[in-house]
Homo-oligomer: A and B are copies of this chain.
Amino acid sequence: MKDVAAAAGVGLKTVSRVVNEESGVSPAMAARVRAAIAELGFRRNDSARLLRTGSTASVGLVLEDIGDPFSSTLSRGVEAVAREHGCLLFAGSSAEDPDRERELALALCARRVDGLLVVPAGGDHGYLLPETASGLAVVFLDRPGAGIEADAVLSDNAGGAPAGTAHLIAHGHRRIGFVGDLPHIHTCAERLRGYREAMGTAGLPVDERWIATGPTDPATVGRAVRRLLTDGPDGRAEPVTALFTANNRVTLAALQALAGLPARPAVVGFDDLELAALLSPGLTVVAQDPETLGRTAARLLFDRLGRDTSPPRRVELPTRLIVRGSGELPPA
């Protein structure tokens, strides 16, 4: 800026006024400054200004995996709202690792993001207390945070999972398998609770061997699906006739495993998939709306940055049962 001032033959304050589009500079002088800027290739450096104003006009987003369709659609929603507020978005993935979530969240805090959106991997977010005490706004999404009072925007897992399970029961199924993510993950736990609740409401017993939770890689899910569809080693447990697959990755892996098997169980998945309607039969799902989840959480965050000091809110977005064929197959 000193070089620009010297080249234009004006004071530093005048350059600053032109750069920041403030008033008090004559058009002729502003033109001289702009010519000097163009000639010298002056680049505005937001860091200094941001250091002064205290706002970085950026928000941080800690996802599970930026490459997953659920996370990326959620990001799209967050980005749209951030853009409306002239904010840039830092995004990173925790890979479901609590240490990595913490590391990433604190790295974003060190960049002085104005606000932080977190899809929790860990079960304790007390590490954010010094940050929120210093003015950081935090909103959790997809799963609630713990150890800290903050807003959370979630899908109605406790309503969606029973609806999907009840749909299978309504189509004549009595032995229904549940295939889910790691059981300590909030969404998996809630959906499993919903499955049990729907079975209980229908007066159906749940054989614990019908429940398979764990990593969602195709090999693990494939083994679980094959096990659920064959008799147990004791010859007593009859195979299930339907599967409730509790998230998009599980559903995808289960469908891949089923493609190589003779059994045709009914399937209801939690989360919609892009080609779900084009499968034969079409895939019946309990759909979340990750874009609205991202938008809603981002709006809450900007409300907080706009000095909304009301008590923390917990927003639950409805899920929607989409009937396409796979969930309406009768028991074999």
Give how many copies assemble into the complex: 2
Question: Chain B residues with Cβ under 8 A from A273's Cβ?
Answer: 274-275
Question: Chain B residues with Cβ under 8 A from A279's Cβ?
Answer: 275, 278-280
A65 within 8 A of B: yes
Q: Is the CB of B72 within 8 A of A69?
A: yes
Interface 0/1 of A93-130, CB less than 8 Å to B: 10000000000100111111000000000000000011
Question: Chain B residues with Cβ under 8 A from A93's Cβ?
Answer: 76, 79
Query: With A and B bound together, what is the CA distance between A131 and B41 in angstroms?
Result: 8
A291 within 8 A of B: yes
With contacts A79-B92, A92-B79 taken as known, whether A69 is within 8 angstroms of B274 at the C-beta atoms is: yes
Residue of A47, A66, A89, A92 with most partner-chain B CB within 10 A: A66
Closest beta carbon of chain B to A61's beta carbon, Å:
9
With contacts A67-B75, A90-B89, A110-B44 taken as known, whether A280 is within 8 angstroms of B280 at the C-beta atoms is: yes
Question: Chain B residues with Cβ under 8 A from A43's Cβ?
Answer: 109-110, 130-131, 134
Interface 0/1 of A240-272, CB less than 8 Å to B: 000000000000100110010000000000000
| 16 CB-based A-B contacts, threshold 8 Å | A41-B129, A41-B133, A44-B110, A46-B110, A47-B56, A66-B72, A71-B72, A72-B72, A76-B93, A79-B93, A88-B92, A88-B104, A89-B91, A255-B275, A273-B274, A275-B275
